[in-house]
Amino acid sequence: MRKQRKYMNPYLAGVLLGLALLSAIYFSGRGLGASGGIKYCVASVIGAFNHNAPGGTGYFAQYFEGGARPLQNWLVYEILGLLIGGFLSGLYSGRLKLRVEKPTHVSTTRRLLFAFLGGTFFVFGAQLARGCTSGAALSGMAVLSTAGFVTMLAIFGSAYAFAWFFRKNWI
Amino acid sequence: MSPFIEITNSSPFLQFITALLVGIIFGIALEQAGFSSSRKLAGMFYGYDATVIKVFFTAAITSMIGTQFLQYFGLLDMKQVYINHYYVYASIVGGVIMGAGFVMGGFCPGTGISALSIGKIDALFYLLGGAFGAFLFGEFYPKLDKLAMAGYKGPVKLSESMGINDGVFIFLVILIAIGMFWLAEKAEKRFARPDINTEY
């Protein structure tokens, strides 16, 4: 196997991420997003299985309003790009590999269970806060919005507060 | 003055190509930073790896300064740019739920997608969980809408609430970030875990 390259210097990677965010603001009029893209995919799946959802009274009906198709959305294309960019970076740095990443003392079942739960919590919370680390915290801070700073503090503060309870999964 | 308006009005195709390209840069930045590794991300909360704070705050500062420059050169009209709406309770409660999810799963949605892109199976489970979370929110929304809408303040800016000019505000954020970078470097030395903290 090809030798792995090191990760980029974090400050340099931060500048690159900042430029990605800046280009999103410049070209789309709003920042980056990730959980929003996931939400549109879910809306689309719900629409495919339940033909009453579009035009219905459920929460996801709003994403079909006026004949809109949830997959025809800026954020969906952006997260498709996110996947491609990550893949290219992994290819370049020799990090492409199918595997479950976990500390050696944690079982695979436990890691996958907590990964699933973590995703459920995170995206649920992101719907409430109208954005995740990308869309609410980072993009919100870029435009100096109070919502961005408050969401950022709530996410990081809470993660530190709960870290003790989940320490056995990591250290 | 703001190119996105022309793009939005021209063609959906151009709009989606731009979205794809912006996404690709986003993806390269996250993966190169090491955000495709849950153990690296979780290190933030146990002190052994503070990459998250360094990347996050450098990105925030870069974009804040960048928008100032674009405005200064007349390339961007901030009045046309979306400012996140502030719903006091939703931001706080949502953020707390997200923080719990972060330390359970080791990812946020963007970094989960980044990890999936290089083949992490745990990230696939994380994102399936995420899709389930979005579904649950939709199912429970009738019970949650009061909380979601409470304490609405509009698209407020923190600089304006503090009564200071945007430039001064950004300067303060930079000073705070430098302080945090200094702390982050100290913490990484103190809580170093060479057994965990290698290249993954």
> Which of B41, B72, B97, B156 to mutate against chain A (most A CBs within 10 Å)?
B97
What are residue B49's phi and psi, to 5 degrees? -150, 115
Give pLDDT, residue A54. 77
Between CA B52 and CA B44 the distance in angstroms is 6
* pLDDT over 70, % of chain A: 98
Q: State yes or no: pLDDT of B118 exceeds 60.
A: yes
> What region does B87 belong to: left with phi over 0, alpha with psi -120 to 50, or beta?
beta
| CB < 8 Å to A100, chain B | 120-122
Q: State yes or no: pLDDT of B143 exceeds 70.
A: yes
Widest Cα–Cα separation across chain A: 54
Between CA A125 and CA A127 the distance in angstroms is 5
| A145 three-state secondary structure | strand
- Torsion sign, CA atoms B174, B177, B183, B185: negative
> Which of B32, B107, B121, B156 to mutate against chain A (most A CBs within 10 Å)?
B32
Give pLDDT, residue A100. 96
Give the residue numbers spanning the domain of B136.
84-155
Question: What is the average pLDDT across B134-157?
Answer: 95
Can you list the pairs that B73-82 forms with residues at least 24 positions away whose Cβ atoms lie under 8 Å?
Answer: B74/B1, B75/A26, B75/B1, B76/A25, B76/A26, B76/B1, B76/B2, B77/B1, B77/B2, B78/A143, B80/A29, B80/B2, B80/B4, B80/B5, B81/A25, B81/A29, B81/A30, B81/A143, B81/B2, B82/A29, B82/A30, B82/A31, B82/A143, B82/B155
Write the CA distances from A162 to A141, B42, B47, B166, integer angstroms.
Answer: 24, 12, 14, 34
B31-48, pLDDT tens digit by residue? Answer: 999 999 999 999 999 999
Give pLDDT, residue B197. 56
Contact A82 B131 (CB under 8 A): no
Least Cα separation, residue B175 to chain A (angstroms): 15
Q: Measuring CA to CA, which residue among B197, B184, B44, B185 is closest to residue B111?
A: B44
Contact B130 A122 (CB under 8 A): yes
Structure tokens at A41: 């995919």
Q: State yes or no: pLDDT of B93 exceeds 70.
A: yes
The string over A73-88, giving b where at least 16 C-beta atoms fall within 10 Å of a residue's C-beta and e elsewhere, is bbbbbbbbbbbbbbbb
What are residue B129's phi and psi, to 5 degrees? -60, -40
- Torsion sign, CA atoms B77, B79, B80, B85: positive
B50-91, pLDDT tens digit by residue? Answer: 999 999 999 999 999 999 999 999 999 998 999 999 999 999
Question: What is the average pLDDT across A70-90?
Answer: 95
The reply to whether B141 falls in a domain is yes
Q: State yes or no: pLDDT of A2 exceeds 80.
A: no
Please state the domain count of chain B: 1
**Per-range mean pLDDT, top range of A51-55, B72-76, B131-135:** B131-135
User: What is residue A105's DSSP assignment?
Assistant: T
Least Cα separation, residue A67 to chain B (angstroms): 15
**Per-range mean pLDDT, top range of A28-42, A49-63, B85-99:** B85-99
Q: State yes or no: pLDDT of A52 exceeds 90.
A: no
Question: What is the average pLDDT across A18-39?
Answer: 94
Q: State yes or no: pLDDT of A153 exceeds 90.
A: yes
A106-152, pLDDT tens digit by residue? Answer: 999 999 999 999 999 999 999 999 999 999 999 999 999 999 999 99
Instruction: Report ipTM for this prediction.
Output: 0.96
Give pLDDT, residue A56. 77
Of the listed ranges A10-19, A58-67, B33-42, the one predicted with least confidence:
A58-67
DSSP string, B152-165: EEES-BHHHHTT--
Structure tokens at A89: 């970076």
Give pLDDT, residue B13. 86
Q: Residues in chain A, how many?
A: 171
Yes or no: say if A102 and B106 are a contact pair by the CB < 8 Å rule. no
| CB < 8 Å to B99, chain A | 125, 154-162
Give pLDDT, residue A65. 86
Report the residue of chain A nearest B147, measured CA to CA.
Answer: A128
B170-189, pLDDT tens digit by residue? Answer: 999 999 999 999 999 999 99
Q: Which amino acid is at A167?
A: R
Q: Residues in chain B, how many?
A: 200
- What average pLDDT does chain A have? 93
Instruction: Among A98, A111, A147, select the one facing B84 at the smallest CB separation.
Output: A147
pLDDT classification of B14: cutoffs 50, 70, 90: confident
Q: State yes or no: pLDDT of A3 exceeds 70.
A: no
